[in-house]
Chain A
Amino acid sequence: MSINPQELRYSKEHEWLSSAEDGISTVGITSHAADALGDVVFVQLPEVGDTVSAGESCGELESTKSVSDLYSPVDGEVTEVNEDVVTDPSLVNSAPFEGGWLFRVRVTGEPEDLLSADEYTAFSGN
């Protein structure tokens, strides 16, 4: 059984995207990505009101061993960021699909290559 929730969609940069409610979707990184990073110690998120573009860097995730860009899976405008994860970056590791969400975005455009849960599981290997 997959650890990747069926109701989400996924980018090949290992972000997840929730279905839009009132045009707004939530974005986070997958459990696979969090495991690959190791303990996340610092999260830099976009700011509310920022315009983000699919596949472009909009923040950073630092772990013990490395720093990685955070990519937006869609085009849109940031409506909310998760201040809890800024205060406690370990939420990305402990609850990547829940309390470790990163930001919410009013979606204006979607790339065609977002993956379903099953496709992402096959792509990432778990």
Chain B
Amino acid sequence: MTTAPAAPRRTALDAVHRALGATMTDFAGWDMPLRYGSERDEHNAVRGTAGLFDLSHMGEITVTGPQAGEALDFALVGHLSALAVGRARYTMICTADGGILDDLIVYRLGEAEFMIVANASNAQVVLDAVTDRAKDFDAEVRDDRDGYALIAVQGPQSPAILKSLTDADLDGLKYYAGLPGTVAGVPALIARTGYTGEDGFELFVSPADAEALWQALTEAGQPYGLVPCGLSCRDTLRLEAGMPLYGHELTTALTPFDAGLGRVVKFDKPGDFIGRQALEQAAVQAEATPPRKLVGLVAEGRRVPRAGYPVTVEGGRVIGEVTSGAPSPTLGKPIAIAYVDAPHAAPGTPGVSVDIRGSHEPYQVVALPFYKRQR
């Protein structure tokens, strides 16, 4: 028996992308813009001026009720009940044996209301897990994937662009905070978050308002050099900023400690949580025998490392594996994130190469991130 693949889902901005001549790609079951023109130009716009993204594929899950915070403390590795209203937190959801199911951003919208934003590829898994884990709490878990379109404005000019369209107090809005407001007449949750290494905003709006908001941002951004940006440059932007991507740096085979992100696991929060026992062991083990470490690699040549390529030392001995790689527009050289054995993880470790389809290309080990914005 064969089953036809499901038709890809289209965002509320689909017609806009097509009118802009975007190259579309299937991403986690969604038909998304990969790029509108040159992905390098889009990348450079976000670093230099501003870029506009449709991120409506991201999966929103709302958790409400008197015990919403406690339910999330149990379901996730973070201490969400301690989060102040209007703030956001980067966190993870793990399996009982400590493997990473997804990395998440959780916004506290009210005393008894949270919004989880999951990766598109994991949205159903996260929804199912949170629903199951919250069942003994006085909390309701709601699938809000169809409830929101998500538009991001990223880059140094993004505050100026957004200020021209809203009365909301953007100066008072800190990084990893969110507040309800109105942008270009459209009700929006305005969050100061992103995945580019730049200052920027993510606007959660009703899908019915998405097109009007996109057009308003396009017009307001025009004098500032705002350009529409696809997922291709989003990937190189996050890679330069050293941010992990689920399915590459993070998988169910790894714990947060394996990924060097043990800090997101809050053992001192009250009550039990899914994965606690396994993660306590993982923390001890990471201390005793350091696991492979995530490092940055910068090319001396021009060939580009790709996910899955072996990292080697003299004699061709494999000491690690590339998880993400791309030509870096900012550095002008190929870069990669890789897991390598701890003895070879120090910046400047000599003799490290990437096996690029049989050719051992010399690479320099550097600390992450590759790029940090000036504040």
Contact = CB atoms under 8 A, between A and B. Distances in A.
Interface of A: 35-36, 38-39, 41-42, 44, 62, 64-67, 93
A65 B234 CA distance: 12
B94 to A, nearest CB: 30
Interface stretch (B10-18, B78-86, B301-309, B336-344): B301-309
Contact of B38 (A44, A65, A66, A93): A93
A64 B303 contact: no
B304 A62 contact: yes
Contacts, number: 40
Interface in B13-43: 23, 34-35, 38-40
Given A35-B23, A64-B39, A64-B40, A41 B302 contact: yes
Contacts of A64: 39-40, 232, 236, 326-327
Query: Chain B: interface secondary structure?
Result: mixed
A50 to B, nearest CB: 17
Contacts of B306: 66-67
A62 B303 contact: yes
B303 A42 contact: yes
A39 B39 contact: yes
Nearest to B35: A38
30 contacts: A35-B23, A36-B23, A38-B23, A38-B34, A38-B38, A38-B39, A38-B232, A39-B38, A39-B39, A39-B40, A39-B327, A41-B302, A41-B304, A41-B334, A42-B302, A42-B303, A42-B327, A44-B303, A62-B304, A62-B327, A64-B39, A64-B236, A64-B326, A64-B327, A65-B232, A65-B326, A67-B304, A67-B306, A67-B357, A93-B38
A63 B173 CA distance: 38
Contacts of A65: 34, 39, 232, 235, 326
Interface residues of B, number: 17
A64 B304 CA distance: 8
Nearest to A66: B306
Contacts of B327: 39, 41-42, 62, 64
Nearest to B356: A67
B175 to A, nearest CB: 28
B90 to A, nearest CB: 26
Contacts of A44: 303
B22 to A, nearest CB: 12
A36 B24 CA distance: 10
A62 B303 CA distance: 8
B36 to A, nearest CB: 11
A65 B39 CA distance: 10
A85 to B, nearest CB: 13
Contacts of B334: 41
B355 to A, nearest CB: 14
